[in-house]
Amino acid sequence: MMSREGHVASSFSIVDILVGIFNYQIKIYGQAKVDNLVLSKGHAVFALYAAMAEYGLLFTESEDAICKNNSPMIGHVPVLPELGLNYGTGSLGQGLSYAIGASYRERTKDFNPEYFVILGDGEMNEGSCWEAILLLKKFELPLRVFIDLNLSSERALPVKNFIHSIVENFDHVIVDGHDPDLLVQSLSRCNKDKPVFYICNTLKGYPLVELSSPIWHHKSPSPDEFGSFINKLETFFQ
Amino acid sequence: MRKKFVELSKKELINNPGSYVLLGDIGVGGFVLQDESLPDRVINMGIAEQSLVGFAAGLADKKANIIVHTISPFLVERAYEQIKLNCGYNQKKLILISANGPFDYEKLGPTHHCPADINLLSMIPYLELRTPSTIEEFESSFNDACNSNLSFYIRVTSRYAHSINYTELEDGWKLLKNKSNLKVNKAYLTTGESLKYLLDNNLNINADIYFTSNPKSVIPNIINKYSKVYSVEPYLRSEFVRSESVTAQIASILFDNKPKKIIKENLGWEDFDHE
């Protein structure tokens, strides 16, 4: 936060999705990891950094370097294979097709590797996402595709109804995106060999209601605002 | 060249079990013959070029070659950002092979032209460029790409020159001596389709020709012995020294003498001219 850069509200939007994914990974694989996770809405990387730190995938000292000059911890998902971050994102609409290819590469006759992809609903404006969904249907790989439906982009180009239409072609779950336990349950029950979409109803900035305003999309809090947000978060979690 | 592409790709698939050929719904017939046994690693990805490149990046592996093949404007221009981010930023190794040269589809109109491919791609790091003039150059370019750690873009063209007697020089340059076999003071530097033009028009009677498949090649010192040196790659704007007269001549032939008319008629630019 000290750099006053990045997309804070979008990051809060997906924190619980990441927690759900990591808890599921721990339950199934015994560890949380990011080498099979593609955060396609790369501007929400602060949530990824925070979740990685919480789950021991990132040294906490690294947090101080986020978005500082010459730091590899940039304001979108960086390419840092040493941390398991094999694919940098930031330009929307790139992550799903990559994840399909990666899953295709790793599949064997007896094993279909799970990949976790987080898309934004605004990102679903991009035609490349729709292309990639066609590829996913063609290959039927076990991707867990989370669409962060925070509705913040509906004001510009509504896509919600089309998202609901397209996922009808797949196994899909409509879920509270701020309930990690529910996400773990849904993930645990899903078909292990097929793609599954998770339409995650979320609030941008959750649980900080004021961050849902469009002006907070790429605004960083002032020191006073930052202090206020910390207080509210502490109250919320009590 | 496209037949050679199929032949070399099949060879790569046989030799390297991790390699794939991804087709943008073109060239499928060359691979999918009934007696073939490579369908699981030759994938028709449909008409979705951006995701085609993204998928290819996901498939990319240090031990394998992911060959992506489709019509050049759809590959280079529509999926330019994907190439930039996947090859240049994420450093995933891909071999991009166009289905055509810049104006191979000239009669189909400007939607299928791609004269800017080399200029655009030359701005992307970790991406090598090749514009072979002959089948032999295509083969060596393909093999270089397969054996490299870097991504490659190879421009296939139907306007290639046939086998010719040339002398190999340093840095991939080749020398084709003038037909008169005399000491001449004129030389052409060329790459890609322009070699065929030079030979078809007997421009090598009184001039030596230097050609290369690498448009970024440094010009060989040997050309200093010539008093007149012409660059002949009309749509490349590469690092070659350019000569206005010869490039204009070649452009006039390749563009069917009316390049601007083709573009204007299809995009409606003539209307704007009259306003």
Closest CA to A12 of A43, A35, A37: A43
Task: Give A156-220 as a 3 state SS string.
Answer: CCCCHHHHHHHHCCCEEEEEECCCHHHHHHHHHHCCCCCCEEEEEECCCCCCCHHHHCHHHCCCC
- Compute the mean pLDDT over every residue in chain A, rounded to the nearest whole number: 94
Over residues B194-241, the pLDDT tens digits come to 899 899 989 999 999 999 999 888 778 888 889 888 878 755 544 344
Q: What ipTM did this prediction achieve?
A: 0.89
Q: Is A212 on the interface with B (CB under 8 A)?
A: no
- Cα B261 to Cα A151, B44, B104, B264: the distances in Å are 47, 35, 17, 5
The answer to whether the predicted template modeling score (pTM) of the entire model surpasses 0.90 is: no
Interface residue of B55, B62, B86 to substitute, partner A, most A CBs within 10 Å: B55
Is there a contact between A97 and B45 if contact means CB atoms under 8 Å apart? Answer: no
Smallest CA–CA separation between A63 and chain B, in Å?
23
Find the closest chain B residue to A90 by CA distance.
B85
pLDDT more than 90, % of chain A = 83
Smallest CA–CA separation between A222 and chain B, in Å?
32
Containing H/E element for B266?
helix B259-267
Task: Say which residue, A114 or B272, is predicted with more confidence.
Answer: A114
Over residues B93-119, the pLDDT tens digits come to 999 999 998 888 877 777 888 888 888
- DSSP single-letter state for residue B134: B
- Cα A48 to Cα A16, A75, A84, A220, A232: the distances in Å are 11, 11, 12, 17, 21
Taking the C-alpha atoms of residue B43 and residue B53, their distance in angstroms, rounded to an integer, is 13
Over residues A58-75, the pLDDT tens digits come to 986 777 788 888 888 899
Q: Is A209 on the interface with B (CB under 8 A)?
A: no
pLDDT at site B51: 97
Q: Which residues of B179-206 are buried (b: 16+ CB within 10 A; e: fewer)?
A: eeeeebeebbbbbbbbbbbbbeeebbee
Is there a contact between A128 and B50 if contact means CB atoms under 8 Å apart? Answer: yes
B98: tokens are 């166009």
pLDDT at A144 over 60: yes
pLDDT at site B37: 56
Name the H helices within B88-168.
117-121, 135-147
Find the closest chain A residue to B88 by CA distance.
A88
What is the SS3 assignment for A108?
Answer: coil
Is there a contact between B51 and A91 if contact means CB atoms under 8 Å apart? Answer: no
Q: Is A10 on the interface with B (CB under 8 A)?
A: no
Per CB distance under 8 Å, which residues of B are interface residues toward A? 45-46, 48, 50-61, 81-82, 85-86, 89-91
B153 and B98 Cβ atoms separated by less than 8 Å: yes
B226 and B208 Cβ atoms separated by less than 8 Å: yes
**Which chain B residues are within 8 Å of A95, Cβ to Cβ?**
54
User: Residue A176: which pLDDT band, with cuts at 50, 70 and 90?
Assistant: very high
- Whether a cis peptide bond, with omega within 30° of 0, leads into A207 is yes
Taking the C-alpha atoms of residue A175 and residue A74, their distance in angstroms, rounded to an integer, is 30
pLDDT at site A234: 95
